[in-house]
């Protein structure tokens, strides 16, 4: 059997894969089994922050692997504390819990919010409010948090204690607070899986004020938007707010599994001995990778992300076959005349890997994609939109 046949025979059928086997890569270029080259604008869904097989990232990982790859959380290892310190210093948050994925980083946020609210406001204060069209993960609890019915259908009963309100409608949330004790509100500043939809700044600020007045925890899911993706270290930094809890994962370790839940002033000591845990959480190799990723996300890199974003917005806005451009930084959604699935297939044939998000084409290039590579990819996308193929 070849790779595709073996996969079809033995791997659970949860993924509709593209008919493409990637065997290697360098930076923003990847190669399939025939040696054909592609410009990668998906980055493993916002994971490979500095592209594939990046030399600095490789050095950080192999150096740590050659020292010790895992010791469990029964012992100290240096990269874990070093990364936590970096995250806290750059966000103003106070403590970090490490896990292995986005869903788990949200799970920890939800547990921390529930414990804080129960201790502070009583055991009937547990409801977590999220937004319609949101995505927060695939575990039963983070599915319950996800404000899209179609993800729920086959898996009821989900974890109780979640409510969903319309993004942009602060009255709906205020009305809900009349009847329901709310422990926390969890938002994505840019809804990623929901179609690359940035939240309105005035709404987010009103939401933050609403939470502050009522001692409701403001939680921001930065799993996709975090770690430089939007042109700030975290997307909430565009919005002039200070969350109580931030969850992140995807791009944090540049291609190794690592989730982090950042806890602010109010909740820094909420989780005590035995309240939460993860065997792999804070793994030294993943943390060493993340330290090297964060060290490189400085103001210079962030300004390059913003410049490349401006280039993409100005190139695509009003172009033939493109109806709308949405997003923030290097997290871009294109509403194209051609169906998004067809666009992705055409681009792939022409050597560019894109993603979809709902009805849009979604672009999540490496943060350091060279400008000429980005230009070449943009030209191929423009041609596909205008349908020269
Ligand atoms: C991808 C994503 C998740 C889930 O992350 P996993 O690592 O797949 O568990 C959660 N929230 C947001 C906003 C995401 O984009």
List, as one string, the DSSP characters of 295-327: HH-SHHHHHHHHHHHHHHHHHHTT-TTEEEEEE
pLDDT of 51: 98
Read off the pLDDT of residues 246-269 as tens digits, 9 standing for 90 and up. 999 999 999 999 999 999 999 999
Q: What is the mean pLDDT of residues 131-153?
A: 97
pLDDT at 285 over 70: yes
Residue 137, ligand 1, Cβ within 6 A: yes
Tell me what percent of the residues of the chain surpass a pLDDT of 70. 99
In whole numbers, what is the pLDDT of the chain averaged over residues?
97
Residue 105 contacts residue 138 (beta carbons within 8 Å):
no
The ligand 1 atom at the shortest distance from the C-alpha of residue 100 is 7
Read off the pLDDT of residues 296-317 as tens digits, 9 standing for 90 and up. 999 999 999 999 999 999 999 9
Cα separation, 137 vs 127, whole angstroms? 18
Cα separation, 198 vs 221, whole angstroms? 13
Residue 47, ligand 1, Cβ within 6 A: no
Q: Which of 43, 102, 196 to mutate to test the pocket of ligand 1 (most atoms within 8 A of CB)?
A: 102
Residue 259 contacts residue 101 (beta carbons within 8 Å):
yes
In the reported structure, the alpha carbon of residue 137 is separated from the centroid of ligand 1 by a whole-number distance in angstroms of 5
Output Rg (C-alpha) for the chain, integer angstroms.
21
Read off the pLDDT of residues 359-370 as tens digits, 9 standing for 90 and up. 999 999 999 999
| Global confidence as pTM | 0.98
pLDDT of 74: 97
Q: Predicted confidence band at 387 (pLDDT cuts at 50, 70, 90)?
A: confident
Read off the pLDDT of residues 339-363 as tens digits, 9 standing for 90 and up. 999 999 999 999 999 999 999 999 9
* Percent composition of the chain: helix, strand, coil (DSSP 3-state, to 5): 40, 20, 40
Residue 229, ligand 1, Cβ within 6 A: no
pLDDT at 388 over 80: no
Read off the pLDDT of residues 29-53 as tens digits, 9 standing for 90 and up. 999 999 999 999 999 999 999 999 9
Residue 326, ligand 1, Cβ within 6 A: no
pLDDT at 177 over 60: yes
Residues β-bridged to residue 39: 29, 352
Q: Which of 44, 135, 140 to mutate to test the pocket of ligand 1 (most atoms within 8 A of CB)?
A: 135
Q: What is the mean pLDDT of residues 381-389?
A: 84
pLDDT at 122 over 80: yes
Residue with tokens 């400085």: 298
Going edge to edge, which strands form the sheet with 245-248?
95-99, 259-263, 245-248, 217-221, 182-187, 127-131, 162-165
Q: What is the mean pLDDT of residues 265-291?
A: 98
pLDDT at 149 over 80: yes
Q: Predicted confidence band at 373 (pLDDT cuts at 50, 70, 90)?
A: very high
In the reported structure, the alpha carbon of residue 276 is separated from the centroid of ligand 1 by a whole-number distance in angstroms of 20
pLDDT of 389: 52
Residue 136, ligand 1, Cβ within 6 A: yes
The ligand 1 atom at the shortest distance from the C-alpha of residue 104 is 9
The ligand 1 atom at the shortest distance from the C-alpha of residue 137 is 4
* Chain centre to alpha carbon of residue 372: 26
Residue 162 contacts residue 128 (beta carbons within 8 Å):
yes
pLDDT of 198: 98
Q: What is the mean pLDDT of residues 159-180?
A: 98
Read off the pLDDT of residues 191-205 as tens digits, 9 standing for 90 and up. 999 999 999 999 999
Read off the pLDDT of residues 50-93 as tens digits, 9 standing for 90 and up. 999 999 999 999 999 999 999 999 999 999 999 999 999 999 99
Residue 195 contacts residue 135 (beta carbons within 8 Å):
no
User: Which domains, ranges and CATH numbers included, belong to the chain?
Assistant: 3-53+299-385 (3.90.1150.10), 68-294 (3.40.640.10)
The ligand 1 atom at the shortest distance from the C-alpha of residue 188 is 13
Q: Predicted confidence band at 160 (pLDDT cuts at 50, 70, 90)?
A: very high
Residue 84 contacts residue 252 (beta carbons within 8 Å):
no
Cα pseudo-dihedral 115, 253, 378, 308, rounded to 10:
80
Residue 192 contacts residue 329 (beta carbons within 8 Å):
no
């Amino acid at each position: 059997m070849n790779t595709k046949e073996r996969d079809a025979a033995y791997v659970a059928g949860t993924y509709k894969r593209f008919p493409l086997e990637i065997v290697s890569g360098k930076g923003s270029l990847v190669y399939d089994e025939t040696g054909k080259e592609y410009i990668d604008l998906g980055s493993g869904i916002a994971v490979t922050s500095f592209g594939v097989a990046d030399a600095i990232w490789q050095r950080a990982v192999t150096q740590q692997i050659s020292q010790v790859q895992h010791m469990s959380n029964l012992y100290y290892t240096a990269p874990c504390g070093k990364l936590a310190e970096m995250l806290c210093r750059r966000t103003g948050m106070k403590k970090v819990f490490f896990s292995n994925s986005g869903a788990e980083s949200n799970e920890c946020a939800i547990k921390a919010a529930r414990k804080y609210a129960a201790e502070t406001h009583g055991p009937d204060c547990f409801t977590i409010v999220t937004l319609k069209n949101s995505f927060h993960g695939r575990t039963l609890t983070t599915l319950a948090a996800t404000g899209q019915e179609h993800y729920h259908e086959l898996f009821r009963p989900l974890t109780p204690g979640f409510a969903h309100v319309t993004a942009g409608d602060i009255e709906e949330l205020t009305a809900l607070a009349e009847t329901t004790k709310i422990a926390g509100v969890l938002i994505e500043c840019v809804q990623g899986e929901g179609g690359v939809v940035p939240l309105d700044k005035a709404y987010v600020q009103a939401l933050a004020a609403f939470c502050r007045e009522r001692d409701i925890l403001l939680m921001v899911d930065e799993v996709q938007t975090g770690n430089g993706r939007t042109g700030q270290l975290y997307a909430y930094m565009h919005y002039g707010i200070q969350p109580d809890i931030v969850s992140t994962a995807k791009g944090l370790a540049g291609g190794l599994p690592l989730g982090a839940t950042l806890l602010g002033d109010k909740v820094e000591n909420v989780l005590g001995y035995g309240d939460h845990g993860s065997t792999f959480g804070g793994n030294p190799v993943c943390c060493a990778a993340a330290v090297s990723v964060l060290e490189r996300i400085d103001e210079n890199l962030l300004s390059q992300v913003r410049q490349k974003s401006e280039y993409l917005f100005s190139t695509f806005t009003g172009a033939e076959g493109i109806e709308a451009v949405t997003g923030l930084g290097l997290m871009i959604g294109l509403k194209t005349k051609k169906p998004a699935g067809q666009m992705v297939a055409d681009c792939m044939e022409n050597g560019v890997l894109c993603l979809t998000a709902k009805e849009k084409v979604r672009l999540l290039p490496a943060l350091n994609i060279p400008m000429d590579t980005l230009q070449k990819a943009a030209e191929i996308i423009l041609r596909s939109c205008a349908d020269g193929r």
